[in-house]
Amino acid sequence: MVDVSSKDATERAASAEAVIVLSEEAFDLVVSGTAKKGDVLATARIAGIMAAKKTSELIPLCHPLALSHAGVEFTPDVERHAFKIVASARTTGPTGVEMEALTAASVAALTIYDMVKAVDRGAVIESIKLLSTSAARAERSLSASSLLPHRAARSRRPARLRRTVLDGRGPAPKLGQSFKRARGVARIHAAKAAARDRVGEAGCHTRGTSSTDSSPAGRDTAGVTAEKLAKAGSVSVWMRCSLAKNER
């Protein structure tokens, strides 16, 4: 059988139809209730309801369901000497009751045939078809606590985008972006500029180089120091912005 354990238990309903055409004599016996075997329609109704409850035993891969309703109704068609049989079923579960309704209509039609075959062996069961099926949607809780994770997921920006903006390597804020983001980027650039201004003094005292040292070693040392100070300034501003955001 198909695994339906992951589906929600909802209210489900279905209805099915079968039509049986009789001879005029057999039709009169059924309508008058004078058939040799007894009340044809009452017997067919009970047979259909019992069949709906036993569907999983008749159809190998059907799920056994606890039906909350099963019914069979008959509508006579005098002109055609026929009966329209409508079977309905309802349950609350993870799968539908279409097969229960179809089985009830089928067995009710077969029962009518069995009870009139002594008079009319030419009775014809014309059609068996599903008329309708429905399943109510499961209600989901929309409390504030259940929405918090979704809101957090929507507001979370990709790590790559955050890193690009905080390092100052990304594009300048475009029109329409928030003022807070633009102000944060401006602070980062200001901190990096201040760090570069201090690099001359820091570089001249690193590894014995002076501010007038034009050797490759002196320039390389100054460049490394500038990069380190710039990164330190960016991280410091990023930490301050993060703490201020959390405090809000």
Residues catalogued as catalytic: 114
In DSSP terms, 85 is beta-bridged to 18, 74
What is the longest distance spanned by two Cα atoms in the chain? 125
Residue 222 and residue 207 in contact, taking contact as beta carbons nearer than 8 Å: no
